[in-house]
Structures are given as structure tokens and as C-alpha cells.
Structure 1
């Protein structure tokens, strides 16, 4: 209907009524559309600026957390022979004065036993009961119809909860059962049965399985003190350090020193200054875009006070300002390299503690949060579900959605207005066309009358 009216506008009257409808409709719609478009562009600019600030803050906190978790921000033990020993400092451990000597006499080993070959691991081996004894504790192994095979026996052992693992290993000679216990002499085991059919898969008291390796403890001497442990991973002989012994070398001493993370710390602190200034810049852009939103002002104050926030309980160096980071007049920060070098030289443990804080009964996340925890807390408070930036983002998204709805309603109203114009001008066009027809008829009659009179 609309199309037919539009195509016929002006057809009878001779007037360009289609253009008149377009001009009137556009004159009505254009200022409203422009106003809503500008409002939407403004809100979208605000959303973009706030999103950038939020992304900066989240990335800043996450990168610091990952960096600290990697252990590169604290001193690490340094063995002289890494093929014989590896060592890692526990998170927050202060090991700056570590200097030890270790002699590894024996590694901890797990017991292994294996059976003779069988042709088919799924074939019957005989049913009955077996007893798996580990460190004085017995575990019942029932070989019923569901477990009557080499594969079934392995499954029954694995679900026993004994700590002994069973596997069926196959090669060109067939398949055999291999059992492996846990490390340490106390974890030695036997697998026995009173059923003759199962003796080929028993070890101890008449069983025919073969001992591959006997269980044994690790034995080593650290700083002239002898130790025996049931594992090659040892975390209780050097405070804050986990040792992993890898090779026995009786009579050969391996020294354990310390590698200070001086350069990683210096580089990280320089990077902190750079990233912080980028964050402040984008935060200022978001404040400008939003007309100085209160949430952004609050967050900016929290960032500005971060340099003076206590990050550790050390009496000498507990804040970023103590290592040479200062606030400039424009709100950015800068680093006094000389002050940082002095802190790294005179009190390296305290500088480390700003990044990898000590954790014990007196050093908690409250008293010694460290830079990563403190920044993550600030980030969570701003970007969490009800955080300042999250709430601001929701408000702006809601405002944007409202403008889009206003645009849709405006389009509907203007479309209705255009339809009314088309109808009105269509009626006008028809009337003018009728009048013109009447005029033409009268003119024709006048000519006829005039001719008749002559």
C-alpha cells in the first residue's frame, strides 16, 4: 500500500509531492537521530575508556601474581652439581645465607617385581584369593570370574588401595605382570596365595614372581649430619627449601649456595613503574571521558596511595617508596635507581619480601601481603561483581542499551509520521487531480459553447 502511494504521489497534481514527503520526514527525523547518535557515541566512548582502564588493572595484577608465583623474585638455592641434586625455595622463604654441603650415599627406590610371560593377558589364570602385604598391612585381592585374567589381576591390585601399582607390559615375547610399590624400605611388599594356580603371580612364600628392584631409603649427609628418608624429595632438612636428590655419589660433596634475583628484581621494579604510569594514563582518560565519575576518582586515590601501603612488616623496607619509587607532580611515578641499588645491596631480603613475602605464624597475608596480593586485592575490589569499575561498566551498558531502545522507538514514530504524510499528500494529490479534470472539462465546454455561438 505504501509503495503504491509513494509511486503515485505527484502523478495527478503535477507537484513533486514525493520530495515534499521526504523533506518533511527527514526534517522531523534528522535532529532526533543526530542527537541520539551523539549520545550513543559519547556513552560508547565512556565504555571503551572504562574497559581499557579495567583491562590494564586486571592485567597488571595478574602479571605480577604469575611473576611472583614463578619464583624468580626470590633467592633460590644453587647446587654445584644439578645432575645430582635440584633444590627449590618454598614461596616466601628467606634463604639468603644458605651455604651447605651434601653427600648423597643412596637414592630412595621402590620395589618392583615381575611375572613370567603369558601368551594372552585376557586368558584365564585361575580363581582364588591373594594377600598383598605392604609395610605390615594386609590387603585382600580376590580373583573371581570378573578378574580371572592377567588384566583382571592387575585391575584388582590397582583398586585395592595398597599403594602398589600393577600393569601388564607386552612385547614380542608375550605379556607379564609388573608390580611397583612406593619408595622407601617401609613400603616393601609381598603378594601371596594359598591357591596353587596363582603361585605364578605371587611374590614371597613360594611365589615365582621375580624381584626386579628392592625397596630402599635415601641416605645422605648434610653438613656432616646423616639422614635417612623414604623419598628422594626432601623438604625437612633445610628450612624453606625442597631438595630432590637424583644421583648417588658416595664420598662426593655437592655444595648448595644461593643465587640472588638482583637483576630480575631491578627489571621488574622498572617494569612496574612503566606499567603503573600506563594504568594512570588510561585511568585519567576514563575519568575525562566520564566527566570525573566518582568511582574512578576513588580508584585513582587508591592507586596513588599504593606506594605508601605497607607490603611487609620489615622495619626498614616495607613500602615501595622505601626502594626509590616516588610520585611526580602529575600523578605518575618515577624510580630513584641509586636508592634501589642501595636497598638491594644492604637489605636484599627485605626487597625480596615486597614481592615474595614470608609466610609463617607471624607473617600473614594481612601483615605481609606483598605487592602481588595487595594489587590483586585492589583489582578485585574494582573489577569484582560489585566492584567500582564493574558497577560503572554495568551502568554505562544499561545507558547504551536505553539509547538503542530510544533509537528504535524514534524510528517507529518517524515511520508512522512518514506514513501519515504519504496518506495526506496522496489524498491531496487525488483532489488536485480531480479539480484539474473538472477544469479541463469546463475549458472544453467553454470552447464548444463559444464555437456554437459563432
Structure 2
């Protein structure tokens, strides 16, 4: 049986197999070259876009790390860290601190311990004890299922009331130890129900009673006390040794008592800020140079165009970056933009730093220059302080209205950005769907309304640019999606091309096979005629 493979060329003497290959290649090669060129160009775009995205990520992350590390913040200082330490609260802008602080007592929690029992599994007796703490009474029930020292401790801890029970075992036996949270308000009792017990506290659960008057089966080893602090001659108390509401923007951690006052001051990082401005300009120009190479057009000298020449996403990035020097970064009374401290955009898009202007501003208004870099949160009244907003609430000014301080068991009330907030104690939290989501304020006194301002600083502004470019509908995300779609389209076009070329080759092979079959028949006829004529010529002779 004659096949296409062995039929090609048998009739005509032409190497039709090579001819089919040549014709197929002639049809395939230009299309394949065009697809390969598209593929190469698209791959270069994907690579360049990834490089640009990584570059702005690194730029924003590095600046953010520098800022969050605190090296550009004015920091509080203390004269004796063995007595107390001081740190700036996130987003706080502190300046000119000066205070004399004496710690005369540390806050401590109540501690009670039982007499020694034989072991942790020793029976304590069935019945009920009432745990009273923070104005709440919680029932501690002991049955045959949990009648042991361990069972009693577990039952107390299960209430999660702020009183921790543990069983301490040593060579003499096992004891129940109760520990409460620091502060006088967290004092607790563990009492027998009314009408039970004989007042001796020597049998059953009575052995573990703790009464307000100090009687009971458990002995008190430490009373619940507030910390006592004197600030510039004014004595005050706090329930914990971590105090964040005495000095605006500063958290004090009390370490030990002392008769000697500790001096609180500030240390401004002027040299670090100057260095940070210079580093920012240098890093910006490095990024701009990278983007410039990616978007360069083909030169008259034959130099190739950049992989992202004419790419809209990179133009959007450069526009956003260029706007950094004129973006308002602080709402304070000092400089509001980078251009005001000597950072300016040149005609070629790079930045330049006028160090004389920067030094003059640092000397004239160091706090204002610092505010440009660091995020800040301020309130129009000392009766409303920002507890949390840094990195959570978008920059802007928010109105707080209908404010009511906490009273009794009722938490603070009020509206933030037009929506009712959620109160817990003296804290008021913005509703999760409001414009001020993430904002938490402390209402510490009678005030009807207030205004809170959240500044992003340079780090926040750069972060916002990155997030905008990389968001779901951001320019970089859109470009990445477009390049991925192009890669799929190229692959699909290549599949279609190969299918069409295969069909074309099959058609050529079929046509040449038919031609060779016809030529073979004609050659056979020719041979017959030639032989017949030769016979005729022989007969005539």
C-alpha cells in the first residue's frame, strides 16, 4: 500500500518531502518570529514591572521601618531608669517635656494563700464559694467531680475574673495561692454563701474563704494597692505600674519606689532627621533612575527602548512620586511639605536637597521638620486623647460630637465622624464601617465635642502611594493583569498557528501525493507508448 511518506517524489523525481518542509517553514517562520517577539517583549515587561514594584515596596518598607523604629521621633528621657522608664506612645508628638516625678508606691495585686494540705488531690469539701471582684459575684461550685485542691483552682480560673489560682507544692504539701490584678479596685473576696459556715474557717470550703475584713481561711500575703506618684508636687494614684494617661503622648513604667525625684525630659534626633532627609533624596533618585531606564524611548544612536516605554502604570507611579514634595504631610503650624525644608523636584524628575534651607528649618523649627516624617495624632482638647490610630485610621480630621464621659458601669458615649462609637470604660472606639475606623479615643472629662487630626507623615504618604498602585484596581496591579493576559493570548495564538500550519502541511502532502500519483501514471503510460513505438519501429524494419 502506498503511503504519503513513500509516495512523495516517486513519480516526479522531485524531492517533494523537502519541498513540503520548505513551504511549511515559509508559512510558519514569520508568524512564529512575530509571536516570539511578542513573547520576548511581554516577558521583558513582566520582569521590569516586577522590578519596579519591588523597588517601590523596598523604598516604602525601608522608610517605614526607619520611622517605626523611633529613630526619627523625639523621645522622652528620664534621669533614673532604675525607678521608672518613659516611652513615646505610637503617633505621639512630644516636645519640651519637663517634669519631676517621685514614685512612693508601686501598684500591687492582692495575694492570698491557704494552709498546707497533704497533696494537690486532697479533698476540699463540696459546696459553693462566691468570688467577688470588680463589682461582680461569681459562683465557684465544688462537687464530687472536682472535689480537690486542683479542682478548686481550675474552677476559679474558669471564671476568668482576673483572679488567678494556682496550686503550689513543696516538701510540706500543697497550698492554694490566689493572685489578683494590680490596683485597689481589683481587690477580691472569696466568701461562703449567707447562712453557711460556723465562723471558724477550719472545715471544708470555709478553709479557702477570703473576707473583706481580713478574716477567713486564706491568709493575705499582699494587699491590693494603687501606685502612688507625685508629679511636680501633685500626688496621684493609678491601678497599674504602666501609666499612659498622666503625661500626653508618654507611657511611664514604674520600676521601684524612691525618695528621690526622677527628672523627665526629651531628646530630639536632629542629626538623624537630617541624615534621613538626605537618604530619602538619594533613595528617591535611585528609584527614579531605574524607572527612567525602563521607560526610555529608542535613541537616534540606535539604543533600544526600555521594556516599559510608554507604559501607563509607570507614568502613574512617577506622577504620584513627583507629588511627594508638594503633598501636605503635617497639619501643624510648622512646615507642611518637603519643599519647604529644601527638598525640591528638578526638571528631569529627580530631587535635589538645599542643605542650607534644611539646616535653617531644623534650627528654627525642629519639631515641625520632625512632624513631616512621623505620623501624628492630635486633639483639640486635653479632655479627649487619642489612644490608637497610628497605622489604622486613614489620615484626616475627624469631628467627635455628643460626647459623654463614662459614669459608673456606663462607658463613654459619642459620635465619631457622624457615627455612634462603642464605649468601654473611658474609651470610645469608632464604628468599623465609619471613615474613622481604627480610631480609639479616651474621654477623660466633661466635654461635648472635639476635633481629632491624624497625620500620615512622609512614611504614611509613601505607603498610601504604594497601596494605591498595588490595590485591586491600582495601576501596577492592572498592568500585571494585562501582561498576564497577553502571555495567555500569545500562548493561545501559538497553539492556533501550530494547528493551522499542521493543517496546511497536511494539505500540501495530500496535494503532492495526488500529483505524484498522477505523474506515476503518466510515466507508466509514457513507458508503454515508448515500448510500443519501439516495437512498431522494429516491425517496420
What is the TM-score of this pair, normalised by structure 2? 0.74
Size of the aligned set, in residue pairs, is: 451
Question: What does residue 264 of structure 1 align with?
Answer: 272
Question: What does residue 81 of structure 2 align with?
Answer: 82
Q: Does 1:366 align with 2:396?
A: yes
**Offset at 1:371?**
1.3
Distance 1:315 1:217, change over 3 A: closer
Task: After TM superposition, list the pairs within 5 Å mapping 1:18-417 onto structure 2.
Answer: 18-116=17-115, 121=120, 124-135=123-134, 137-170=136-169, 175-193=174-192, 194=196, 196-204=203-211, 207-249=216-258, 251-288=259-296, 289-362=307-380, 365-366=395-396, 368-417=455-504
Distance 1:257 1:453, change over 3 A: same
Distance 1:447 1:180, change over 3 A: farther
Distance 1:347 1:49, change over 3 A: same
Distance 1:417 1:140, change over 3 A: same
SS of equivalent residue, structure 2 residue 377: coil
Question: What does residue 449 of structure 2 align with?
Answer: none
After superposition, the C-alpha distances for 1:69-100 in whole angstroms (9 at most, x for unaligned) are 33322111111222321111123433331122
* In 1: Cα distance, 2:123 partner to 2:480 partner: 68
**Offset at 1:214?**
2.3
**Offset at 1:171?**
5.7
Distance 1:443 1:147, change over 3 A: farther
Does structure 1 retain, via aligned residues, the 8 Å contact 2:126–2:142?
A: yes
**Offset at 1:321?**
1.1
* In 1: Cα distance, 2:272 partner to 2:172 partner: 55
Distance 1:315 1:216, change over 3 A: closer
* In 2: Cα distance, 1:432 partner to 1:76 partner: 99
Q: 373-382 or 295-304, which moves further after superposition?
A: 295-304
What is the TM-score of this pair, normalised by structure 1? 0.87
Distance 1:105 1:419, change over 3 A: same
SS of equivalent residue, structure 1 residue 359: strand
Choose between structure 1 and 2 for higher RCO, CA contacts under 8 A separated by at least 6 residues: 1
* In 2: Cα distance, 1:429 partner to 1:171 partner: 106
Q: 238-247 or 175-184, which moves further after superposition?
A: 175-184
Distance 1:112 1:444, change over 3 A: farther
**Structure 2 segments unaligned to the other structure (5+ residues):** 198-202, 297-306, 381-385, 387-393, 398-454
SS of equivalent residue, structure 2 residue 344: strand
* In 2: Cα distance, 1:325 partner to 1:440 partner: 96
Question: What does residue 426 of structure 2 align with?
Answer: none
* In 1: Cα distance, 2:108 partner to 2:129 partner: 25
Does structure 1 retain, via aligned residues, the 8 Å contact 2:123–2:148?
A: yes
**Offset at 1:164?**
0.9
* In 1: Cα distance, 2:208 partner to 2:360 partner: 68
Does structure 1 retain, via aligned residues, the 8 Å contact 2:98–2:264?
A: yes
* In 1: Cα distance, 2:231 partner to 2:520 partner: 114
Q: 47-56 or 182-191, which moves further after superposition?
A: 47-56
Question: What does residue 403 of structure 2 align with?
Answer: none
**Offset at 1:290?**
4.1
* In 2: Cα distance, 1:338 partner to 1:255 partner: 35
Does structure 1 retain, via aligned residues, the 8 Å contact 2:333–2:368?
A: no
Distance 1:29 1:112, change over 3 A: same
More helix by share: 1
Distance 1:61 1:10, change over 3 A: same
**Offset at 1:15?**
4.0
After superposition, the C-alpha distances for 1:334-368 in whole angstroms (9 at most, x for unaligned) are 22223222222221110111122441235993364
SS of equivalent residue, structure 2 residue 129: strand
Does structure 1 retain, via aligned residues, the 8 Å contact 2:119–2:169?
A: no
Distance 1:115 1:453, change over 3 A: farther
Does structure 2 retain, via aligned residues, the 8 Å contact 1:199–1:206?
A: no
Q: 192-201 or 166-175, which moves further after superposition?
A: 166-175
